[in-house]
Amino acid sequence: MNSTATTALAPGAIVTVGRAGLTDGDVVAVARFDARIGLDPAALDEVRATRAIIDALATDPVGHYGISTGFGALATTFIDAERRGQLQQSLIRSHAAGSGPEVEREVVRALMLLRLSTLMTGRTGVRVRTAHAYADLLNAGITPVVREFGSLGCSGDLAPLAHCALAVMGEGDVRDATGTLVPASDALRAAGLEPVLLAEKEGLALINGTDGMLGMLVLALHDLRMLLQTADVSAAMSVEALLGTDAVFAADLHAMRPQIGQSESAANLRALLSGSAITASHAGPECTAIQDAYSLRCSPQVHGAARDTADHAARVAERELQSAIDNPVVTADGRVESNGNFHGAPIGYVLDFLAIAAADVASMSERRTDRHLDVARNRGLPPFLAHEVGVDSGLMIAQYTAAGIVSELKRLAMPASVDSIPSSAMQEDHVSMGWAAARKLRRSLDGLARVLGIEVLTAARSLDLRAPLRPAPATAAALAAVRTVAAGPGPDRYLSPEIEAVAGLVRSGAIRDVAAAVTKGLK
């Protein structure tokens, strides 16, 4: 989605990477806002000590996986000492086999940071110099070119991480700090950096991780939380403009069903609708509307379920951010052991779950948009909110656009993690497809932002048409923000730029922020 919504970083912000792992805020700060990286000296001491264990095993005449043997299905092939440097370089070159469009800069920076975090746990056996090389590349703003396809989400995000390791070796292509495509060797030279010649075990340590899918999960959660608050804003605008009731959002009603997210969403709706002259205009006993449609009345239940899903995903991400993902790993007592912690199932499942939630929130938003346009259901507004009915089509086709996006989101909600394609001569016979789940979630969140933008644009026009009745202060602030990029009711005009502009306000967090400024925050 590549949202810009976040708390502003302090000038010169530094994220320290050490054995304690990272927070989600650390990942967003480095990936999206170029916070600089520092390496914890105590963690570097542990990296140095672990490397000594690898160096000792390298002299053992008995083969050790990743140190003196081949990889995957070739794990039983012993490699002579003089060929092991070539083994590591060959591993990276062969695994840098991605295809397709370039992956977004923020995703590449996130996966590099997360790989560095694992290196700094002291469980991988890399040299201190190699850890520094990753920090240096990030601090120089150099971004390896990573391709869309290449990870099965097991044995790590192999191809994406290999493209990053290739850049550290001074090979392949990168984007420099200005975004210019250049050979990695030229970018390193311009930044005053030296290529790294990988030693035993380092090739594996640089590619055996869930860092790509985890990085995309963290970024997606950051964006989704903002979008769910925005969905509360758009729902409040629709409830108000469609002459719905706010009585169904009462705290005691939601306390009867103690779902955390539902109560939070309902609290937001109460705050957003507080002081609405429109809602007050039909709140008396003369109101003939007994129950609003589900898309209005049940907004907290759906938005809340999505919040609870995001909370579950955040707990999975938090644990993963504290993990050391590599194979083999160096244990605390000095053993070098193979393991399966690189399997992306925990992350893949929640990525898929979030895509389901995003699709459902968007589906409900589109249904609210449709109600604004239907003269049989919009309680006195003109058909399609048109200026001159019959001559103008109003926002008719904006709803088509929202419906088309929602249909796409339903397809994207099909889980990727239920698929598996065996690889590496059946050694890797079950894979997570977590990378694919993460890629489609990013598209899902972009679609959700657009659908919410169309609802906000539509509800804003409906609120204008309710004049002289005035909306609540919070929804009025959202309406005013829309009017900075899109004109109010009037004859038909070129609509696409307005849809894009309002979707941009949603994506940036601006719609959420102006409403939250009035309510003194949103849950």
Choose among 462, 503, 466: nearest CA to 481: 503
pLDDT of residue 286: 63
pLDDT of residue 33: 96
Distance CA 323, CA 19 (A): 9
Fold of 14-209: Fumarase C; Chain B, domain 1 (1.10.275)
Higher pLDDT, 309 or 338: 309
SS (H, E, C) 47-88: HHHHHHHHHHHHCCCCCCCCCCECCHHHCCCECCHHHHHHHH
Asked whether the beta carbons of 447 and 362 are under 8 A apart, the reply is yes
Residue 393, pLDDT above cutoff 80 = yes
pLDDT of residue 61: 79
What tokens appear for 327 in the block?
């194979």
Q: How many CB atoms lie within 10 A of CB 334?
A: 12
pLDDT band at 288 (very low <50, low <70, confident <90, very high): low
- From the list 65, 294, 349, 494, the catalytic residue is 65
Range scoring the smallest mean pLDDT among 74-78, 209-213, 510-514: 74-78
Specify whether 349 is catalytic.
no
pLDDT of residue 426: 67
User: E-strand spans in 271-386?
Assistant: 329-330, 336-337
Choose among 204, 221, 217, 157: nearest CA to 433: 157
Element housing 36 (H / E): strand 36-39
Range scoring the smallest mean pLDDT among 37-51, 80-94, 113-127, 401-415: 80-94
Query: Computed from CA positions of residues 345, 346, 347, 348, in that sequence, does the dihedral angle turn out positive or negative?
Result: positive
pLDDT of residue 294: 94
Distance CA 46, CA 205 (A): 16
What does residue 150 show for φ and ψ, rounded to 5 degrees? 155, -15
pLDDT of residue 425: 64
Residue 6, pLDDT above cutoff 60 = no
Find residue 174's DSSP bridge partners: 144, 182
pLDDT band at 279 (very low <50, low <70, confident <90, very high): very high
3-state class (DSSP) for residue 23: coil
**Mean predicted confidence (pLDDT) in 297-309:** 98
Distance CA 418, CA 433 (A): 8
Residue 287, pLDDT above cutoff 80 = no
- pLDDT above 70 covers a percentage of the chain that reads 95
Choose among 199, 168, 208: nearest CA to 79: 199
Find residue 143's DSSP bridge partners: 175
Fold of 216-519: Fumarase C; Chain A, domain 2 (1.20.200)
Give me the amino acid identity at 125.
Answer: G
In DSSP notation, 106-149 reads: HHHHHHHHHHHHHHTTT-S---HHHHHHHHHHHHTT-EE--EEE
Higher pLDDT, 280 or 426: 280
pLDDT of residue 167: 98
pLDDT of residue 1: 62
pLDDT band at 488 (very low <50, low <70, confident <90, very high): very high
**Mean predicted confidence (pLDDT) in 490-498:** 97
pLDDT of residue 156: 81
pLDDT of residue 154: 82
pLDDT of residue 11: 62
In this predicted model, what pLDDT tens digit does every residue of 159-174 receive, in sequence order? 999 999 999 999 999 9
- pLDDT above 90 covers a percentage of the chain that reads 78
**Mean predicted confidence (pLDDT) in 458-474:** 97
pLDDT band at 377 (very low <50, low <70, confident <90, very high): very high
pLDDT of residue 396: 96
Asked whether the beta carbons of 42 and 33 are under 8 A apart, the reply is no
Residue 478, pLDDT above cutoff 90 = yes
pLDDT of residue 235: 98
Choose among 355, 363, 461, 468: nearest CA to 413: 355
Asked whether the beta carbons of 153 and 210 are under 8 A apart, the reply is yes
Range scoring the smallest mean pLDDT among 72-81, 111-120, 458-467: 72-81
Asked whether the beta carbons of 511 and 480 are under 8 A apart, the reply is no
Distance CA 121, CA 17 (A): 9
What does residue 413 show for φ and ψ, rounded to 5 degrees? -75, -10
pLDDT of residue 82: 75
pLDDT of residue 284: 73
Element housing 175 (H / E): strand 173-175
Higher pLDDT, 335 or 443: 443
Residue span(s) of the chain under CATH 1.20.200.10 come to 216-519
Residues contacting 248, CB < 8 A, separation 6+: 292, 297
Q: CA dihedral in degrees (124, 129, 132, 138; nearest 10)?
A: -90
**Cα–Cα distance list, 123 to 67, 170, 202, 358, 423 (Å):** 14, 25, 12, 37, 26
Asked whether the beta carbons of 462 and 381 are under 8 A apart, the reply is yes
Asked whether the beta carbons of 202 and 88 are under 8 A apart, the reply is yes
Going by DSSP bridges, is the β-strand pair 14-17/36-39 parallel, antiparallel, or unpaired?
Answer: parallel
Report the predicted TM-score, pTM, of the whole model to 2 decimal places.
0.94
Residue 368, pLDDT above cutoff 70 = yes
Residues contacting 245, CB < 8 A, separation 6+: 239, 279, 282, 283, 287, 289, 292
pLDDT band at 66 (very low <50, low <70, confident <90, very high): confident
What tokens appear for 217 in the block?
């999960």
Distance CA 225, CA 227 (A): 5
**Mean predicted confidence (pLDDT) in 62-68:** 77
Query: Computed from CA positions of residues 454, 215, 15, 88, in that sequence, does the dihedral angle turn out positive or negative?
Result: negative
Higher pLDDT, 517 or 58: 517
pLDDT band at 328 (very low <50, low <70, confident <90, very high): confident
Asked whether the beta carbons of 123 and 292 are under 8 A apart, the reply is no
**Mean predicted confidence (pLDDT) in 411-421:** 88
DSSP 329: E
Mean of the per-residue pLDDT values of the chain? 93
pLDDT band at 245 (very low <50, low <70, confident <90, very high): very high
Residues contacting 298, CB < 8 A, separation 6+: 364
pLDDT band at 343 (very low <50, low <70, confident <90, very high): confident
Residue 302, pLDDT above cutoff 90 = yes
Residue 420, pLDDT above cutoff 80 = no
